[in-house]
Every structure is written in structure tokens, then in C-alpha cells.
Amino acid sequence: AGNKQLIGAIYQPGCMHIGFRVDDIDKTIDKIIEYGGSKYTDIHTMPNGNRCCFARDIENNWLELIERH
């Protein structure tokens, strides 16, 4: 339940996260982890074919990563 509550909170008004379009989400997540960040959600494919996930950087900021197709 905690994960669903957090994801719901991310979409509330205000600046809760920063979104980035990336060319390769798998390589981007690997780099975030290599530099001390963490992956928060699994990478999932949305109905439109885009792949996305949430991560945190080394300063604990929320990052939304989207690989567009």
C-alpha cells in the first residue's frame, strides 16, 4: 500500500518529481545506481509503448524516467 500512496502523492499539485525523457531507460537506471542513486519502481511499459519508472538521485530527489516509443 505504501508504494501506491507514494505514487499517488507524486501526482499531486506542486513540485514532487522531475521527469526526464531518456533514450535507454535500462542504461540510465544503471548509471543512476552506479552514481549512488536507486531505482524505486520496476520499469513498466505503458499502453502507448513508452517505458517508465521512478528513481531517486543521491540527494533523494524523485526522478521519473520515460523512454518514448
pLDDT at site 1 = 45
* Residue from 69, 65, 68, 51 nearest 19 by CA: 65
Distance CA 22, CA 47 (A): 18
Distance CA 7, CA 52 (A): 13
Dump pLDDT digits (tens) for 1-21: 455 555 666 666 666 788 999
Distance CA 54, CA 17 (A): 9
pLDDT at site 13 = 63
C-alpha cell at 6: 507514494
Dump pLDDT digits (tens) for 29-59: 999 999 999 999 999 999 999 999 999 999 9
Whether the model clears a pTM of 0.85, i.e. scores above it, the answer is: no
